A = this chain, B = another copy of it.
Amino acid sequence: MNLKDLAKALELSQTTVSRALNGYPEVNEDTRKRVETMARKLGYAPNQQARRLATGRSMSIGHVIPRTLHEMMNPIFMEFIAGAGEAYSRLGYDMIISVVEDRQVEATYREIAAKKKADAVMVHGPRNNDKRHLLLKELGIPFLVHGRVPGAESSTSWIDVNNTRAFERATDLLLDLGHRRIAFLNGLENMDFAIRRRAGFERAFQNRGLAPDPSLMRQSEMTEPYGADCALEMLRTDKPPTAFLVSSMISAIGVSRAISLCGLEIGKDVSVITHDDALSFLPNSGEVPIFTCTRSSVRYAGRRAAELLIEKILPDPDTRIEEHLEAELIIGRSTGPRQR
């Protein structure tokens, strides 16, 4: 069942049928009705490939995910992707995901441009010295960055959590509770988000004329053992931290395991604040969440990003979007006043 068949069945021209289906204004309302009814009856659906070829738009958005980035941020990606996916299907777009070796990223983007595989792309996990935005501009592919490319904040479109502010507020809370020896388990500090979080952490200290202890600041991929190992090591020193600020729930779980292993109680002997991306398989909600956290739903970010890309950037590729998502600071059971 294609357009020609449908037109024949209706004794109309393809042109009219196409116009009726695509909501062109010049079609007679009765005709449109007839066309729509018949289309439904015969189960007609326009062939995607044909439409794409004719319009020159692929009606899909590309997500090129470098392997190493994926390794690190797997669960966060998936949640973002899920959010974006909702918006895409609502707006009639397809999502194309390519997980590729890091050195293949450029080739993949070039291929997307050359073969017209996607109308726009989403850029994930910007880091220091990230060059992807330059390539995409050269290739003329519209894009939106989830996060910010250091140094290109004002020349690219982006949507990002206010990481600096979130971590400053979290640190402030710990300082207000009397904590001074605060451990900071950050993500890898070649990632933009980690750099910003660190800046927030340090700023909170500076604002009070204090300084964080560098020996309590770590950076790594945010796995569970990372949290546990760091915490164990720190808690076993002479001058253990009384609080932890952790960049991810997964590592925070590790920290909490370490605290238990040391025979200490979380929220009492040791305070913990974590960033909570609101991942579905790591719920931290309920009336009083387990972890005090800075929370920002990655899934929402995905949905919003997809909308912005399709509704703002695609219609006018020169628009620049800057959208801040504020993280909430939510008090849970893992924080309390300094004891020792």
Binding site for B on A (CB under 8 A): 1, 43-50, 52-53, 58, 60, 65, 67, 70-75, 77-79, 81-82, 85-86, 88-89, 94-100, 104, 108, 111, 114-117, 221-225, 250, 253, 256-257, 260-261, 263, 279-283, 290
Q: Give the Cβ gap from A240 to chain B, nearest Cβ, in Å.
A: 17
7 A–B pairs (Cβ distance < 8 Å), ordered by A? A1-B114, A52-B53, A74-B75, A89-B98, A94-B96, A224-B253, A224-B281
Q: Which residues of B contact A282 (CB under 8 A)?
A: 223-224, 250
Q: Report A185 CB to chain B, min CB distance, Å.
A: 14
B82 touches A70 (CB 8 A): yes
- Chain B residues lying within 8 Å of A75, measured Cβ to Cβ, are 74-75, 78, 281
Please, how many angstroms separate the alpha-carbon atoms of A97 and B84 in the complex?
11
Is A47's CB under 8 angstroms from B115's CB?
Answer: yes
Closest to A262 in B: B260
B74 & A86 in contact (Cβ 8 Å cutoff) = no
- So how many copies of this chain end up in the complex? 2
- Quick check: B116 and A74 within 8 Å, CB to CB? no
A95 touches B94 (CB 8 A): no
* Residues of chain B contacted by A99 (CB below 8 angstroms): 81-82, 85-86, 89
Alpha-carbon gap, A232 to B114, bound state (A): 57
Identify A95's interface contact among B47, B74, B98, B111, CB under 8 A.
B98
In the docked arrangement, what's the CA distance between A95 and B45, Å?
21
Chain B minimum-CB-distance residue to A50: B53
> Who on chain B is nearest to A77 by CB?
B78
Say how far A27's CB is from chain B's closest CB, in angstroms: 22
Question: What is the distance, in angstroms, from A158's C-beta to the closest C-beta of chain B?
Answer: 23
Which residues of the other chain, B, contact A78 by a CB distance below 8 angstroms?
70, 74-75, 77-78, 81
Partner of A280, one of B74, B256, B279: B74
How distant is the Cα of A250 from the Cα of B250 in the complex, in angstroms? Answer: 9
Given the complex, which residues of B lie within 8 Å of A279, measured CB to CB? 74
Pairwise interchain contact B72-A114, C-beta atoms closer than 8 A = no
Please, how many angstroms separate the alpha-carbon atoms of A44 and B73 in the complex? 35
Tell me, rounded to whole Å, the shortest Cβ–Cβ distance linking A111 to chain B.
7
Residues on the B chain within 8 Å of A257, using CB:
253, 256-257, 260
In the complex, which of the residues B52, B67, B225, B290 contacts A225, with contact meaning CB atoms closer than 8 Å? B290
Residues of B within 8 A of A1 (CB): 114
On chain B, the residues within 8 Å of A44 by CB distance are 114
| Distance, CA A70 to CA B281, complexed state (A) | 10
Most chain B Cβ neighbours within 10 Å, of A60, A74, A224, A256: A74
- A49-B53, A99-B86 given as contacts; is B74 within 8 A of A281 (CB)? yes
CA distance A43 to B99 in the complex (A): 23
Check A74 against B70 for contact (C-beta < 8 Å): no
